[in-house]
Chain A
Amino acid sequence: MDGRSQQRHAARRVSRRTVLRLGALLGMSVGSAALLSACQSAPAAPTAAPKTDTKPAAAAAPAGSPAAAASSPAAASSPAAAAAASPAASPAAAAPSGAAAQAAPAKPSSASGKIVLVMSAEPPSLENWKSNLADHHPITRNVQEALLNRNPKTAELVGELASAWQQTSPTTWRFTLRDGVKFHSGTPFDAEAAAIGINWTWSKENNFGIRTSIGPEFEAKAIDKQTLEITTAAPDPILASRLYFAPLPDPAQIKNDAASLPTKPIGTGPYKFVEWVKGQRIVLTANPDWWGHGGKDPNGQVKIQDTEFVFRPESAVRASMVQAGEADFARFLAADQCNAVPGCLKAPSLETIFLRLDTMHPAMADIRVRKAIALAIDRQAVGDRLFGGAGRPASQLFASTVTGYNPDLKPYPYDLEQAKKLVAEAKAAGIPVDMQLTSATRRGIYARHDEFSEYTANQLKLIGLNAKSEVVEPTQHAQQFSLGFANIPKERGWITNNPHSNEIMDASRTMQGYYRSTSAASTFADPEVDKAIDAALPLTGDARQKALQAITQTFYDAYAAIPVIHMDLIHGASKRLQWTPRIDGFLLVKEMGLS
């Protein structure tokens, strides 16, 4: 290489080295700046729950201590009689009358402090009407109220935005609304606002998911400022139970800013929406203008100023947050995580795990085979060992708090020998017991669902059936699950393990879903059962209770679906949290206190 070439080469070497150095410096500077700006602009950490300095709360005391809740879940006391009580009678004793509600405005709350609640999933939307999922209601229900609620201890229907209600004819209901109630936006709450909210929520055009929870079509209209009338297309004695499940949005928001409905709910509730930082938290703050201050709402008072909901999909992390003092409440823990948290709240829920049998399958069409499947499941062992003691053997698809629950029915016994005999008898009679059965479960549907599916398949093999376990992707499962009896291929042979929750607390909801032959989710068809359901639907009071119990008995005797366990729900709590879980799973901060 000559001198000039060397000089050129040296120049290139210097420039490349210079570029590398400059590039490294630039990269480090940009990276450092990015990290620093991320640190500075990052949202504030969820602070550890501070020691409370709450002033003594006025009026109604909150529910009992966590210890009391763990030993005697008050919400499980049977309100079945109360729930089945004739809705035609105005429950004046249960709620303040319309006249009383016109008294002086409520005093502002003396709330203070902050509570952090850890949920298992972030809601995709805060539109209550679109959800069937367990994590939506708890947040929105603090911001928006419904016409009715349930007593947290007895689960009896009580007035919330309605002070009185009455079924004035088989297809008409009248509600007297509270006076002096406003939405957080300042919009007055009256019958017109209620009618708009109800018609929006249940309109056929909107087709929101909540419509699966209703019976016949209905329409609301305002009679006067405080009187709302709802007309149903067919007699519906349990309309009040359905309405408790759906809080009311602000009609001004529906009209002027519907795009904000998914992310910024406005209601009349004790808490106002503050912010939703997606992926991180939803923050609420006490509503000083809430109608229920000063003891006007006997079922709760606002004692906590600020509420923050955070989301942790992993239950071990939820438990860790309570242990580390970062949260006061962790929803849905596993049984074995309960011991590690300061307060373990275990309470019955409305959730029942059951096996839904494809009764059109050549083997499962035979009642002996279905009975054998029922006898092959050791419910006590499943509840104790698989679900860590968080489940009680079930005899029906719904809890004892539900109208139509038949107390005479006991869980199917566990009897492998009898089950084997029944399968052998069926085989001898020419039933094709060797045909493939599939214990199918939807991926992620509940904790340890896959292990329960494996257990079921193994038990069926033990009694002489040809069974396998399969975890199905949610989309495929959803399509297969809701085919409807007439569309299910006979040879499919699915035994689906599934949770069912009857939030309406009336057995007709379960029956419409799983007993009726034309239901999308039903795998059972008996025209007599369909007729019995039709006959029971318009009934009220004791007559309704008896009719639904009789249908439950029929379903039980047919082994059409196999109830397994009623799930208890386990939550973690800090030492300072005062709250008793409700059977309907609602998390109402107005029922909570901090010691």
Chain B
Amino acid sequence: MIAYLARRLVGSVLVILGLIVIVFFVLNMLGDPARLMLSPEASQEQYQALRSQLGLDDPLYVQFGRFLAGLARGDFGLSLWQNVPALQLVLDRLPNTLYLTAATMVIAVPLAVGLGVAAALRPGSSVDRAITVVSLGGISVANFWLGLMLILFFSVQLKWLPTSGIGGVSFVILPALALALRPMGRIGQLTRSTLLEEMNKLYVNTARSKGLSEQTVIWGHALRNAALPIITLTGDELAGLLNGAVVIETIFAWPGLGSLLIEGIDHRDLPLVQASLFVVAVTVVLLNLLVDLSYALLDPRVRYR
């Protein structure tokens, strides 16, 4: 297991480095931030002077060398737009994204598993169909529209919750709800189908004939065996949320990583984009590692060497 962990970590570091290098060259090809920072009427002279100030007129290999030297020190440089350390901007936003992600999954996963179990235990019934409709609705609904509807109903009409922004628990409810429907739908559907498959296996009949209660059969045996694909999908949804739920962050003005990354890309703010991608990549890599390790915990047949 230790050897496996070590190999995974080394591989992850290489993946992250490779990602950052690719992004460096791609962003450099996609446009010049200096023009965006000036008014359209700025003269060529002013434009060239700004490029020089920002170090953008150095040859690409010089810029790359400077970037690698900074990376070795954990320094991504100053954000071109905000003129403050880029990594600090990203790290300031990371807790907000983690908070929103956690709140979303706290809503989505128990609901999804509960609904999935309820549907699997009554296949073909009206309950099953209703749950399927709800799940598919959650997957299909445009979260842009949903976010605005939630605000209009709960904040403007009922005045139960704030419209937007970040603060106490009341601020996270609406954005988390808007984000939770999709993972709830996907995880719920998968729970239903994998549990149905497990419930038809022989060991379930054996467990029942041994006198175990139905609750124990479902939650202690069948669901445990159905857990691996559910955990895989949950990890996938988590990774998506950690990348930043840009639309919801924009609507609810939630200061997360997604909106910061998009702003950075819009402005061609290379240091900010690099720092954001680095933090996101590290988080996703750690998450994937945790998911893989959980397989070993859940399934005795899985061994990592």
Contacts and interface: CB of A to CB of B under 8 A. Distances in A.
Tell me if chain B binds chain A.
Answer: yes
Given A207-B46, A212-B39, A474-B266, A42 B31 contact: no
Given A34-B102, A35-B99, A482-B42, A475 B82 contact: no
B99 A476 contact: no
Nearest to B35: A478
Contacts of B12: none
B155 A324 contact: yes
B48 to A, nearest CB: 10
Contacts of A514: 41
B156 interface: yes
Contact of A124 (B82, B102, B152, B300): B82
B167 A320 contact: no
Given A320-B156, A512-B41, A20 B298 contact: yes
Interface string B36-60: 1111111110110110010000000
A23 interface: yes
B96 interface: yes
Interface stretch (A55-63, A78-86, A306-314, A538-546): A306-314
A521 interface: yes
Contacts of A474: 36, 266
A151 interface: no
Contacts of A44: 167
A186 interface: no
A212 B41 CA distance: 7
B148 interface: yes
A212 B253 contact: no
Given A124-B82, A475-B30, A482-B42, A324 B37 contact: no
A280 B255 contact: yes
Contact of B268 (A262, A317, A475, A498): A475
A321 interface: yes
A168 interface: no
B221 interface: no
Contacts of B259: 279
A209 B49 CA distance: 11
Interface stretch (B1-9, B168-176, B186-194): B168-176
Contacts of A16: 297, 300
B31 A263 contact: no
A39 B168 contact: yes
B159 interface: yes
Contacts of A478: 31-32, 35-36, 40
A259 B40 CA distance: 27
Contacts of B44: 484, 520
Interface string B145-187: 0001001100110010011111111110000000000000000
Contacts of B40: 478, 481-482, 498, 513, 520-521
Given A209-B42, A513-B41, A317 B253 contact: yes
Nearest to B41: A513
B81 interface: yes
Interface in A308-359: 310-314, 316-317, 320-321, 323-326
A44 B96 CA distance: 14
B63 interface: no
Interface string B79-120: 101111000010011011011001100100000000000000
A413 interface: no
A487 to B, nearest CB: 9
B40 to A, nearest CB: 5
Given A12-B300, A278-B92, A324 B163 contact: yes
A111 to B, nearest CB: 25
Contacts of B170: 45
Contacts of B225: none
B232 interface: no
B290 to A, nearest CB: 10
A519 interface: yes
B165 A46 contact: yes
B251 A34 contact: no
B187 to A, nearest CB: 17
Contact of A482 (B35, B102, B253): B35
Interface in B254-305: 255, 259-260, 266-268, 297-298, 300
A320 B33 CA distance: 34
A12 B300 CA distance: 9
Contacts of B95: 38
A45 B148 contact: no
Contacts of A527: none
A475 B169 CA distance: 39
A38 B255 CA distance: 14
A320 B168 contact: no
B38 A132 contact: yes
Contacts of A182: none
B227 to A, nearest CB: 10
A45 B36 contact: no
A263 B84 CA distance: 9
A207 B48 CA distance: 10
B252 interface: yes
A481 B44 CA distance: 12
A42 B169 CA distance: 9
Interface in B126-157: 148, 151-152, 155-156
Interface string B15-44: 000000000000000111101111111111
B301 to A, nearest CB: 12
B177 to A, nearest CB: 15
Contacts of A278: 89, 92, 255
Nearest to B252: A317
Interface in A292-313: 310-313
18 contacts: A16-B297, A125-B81, A132-B38, A207-B46, A207-B49, A211-B46, A212-B38, A278-B255, A313-B250, A316-B148, A317-B151, A317-B251, A320-B151, A320-B155, A320-B164, A479-B35, A498-B40, A519-B43
Interface of A: 12-13, 16, 19-20, 23, 31, 34-35, 38-39, 42-46, 124-125, 127, 130, 132, 204, 207, 209, 211-213, 262-263, 278-280, 310-314, 316-317, 320-321, 323-326, 473-476, 478-479, 481-482, 484, 498, 512-514, 519-521
Closest 6 A-B residue pairs measured CB to CB?
A279-B255, A475-B31, A513-B41, A45-B167, A478-B35, A124-B81
Given A45-B162, A521-B40, 4 more contacts: A39-B169, A43-B166, A262-B83, A320-B151
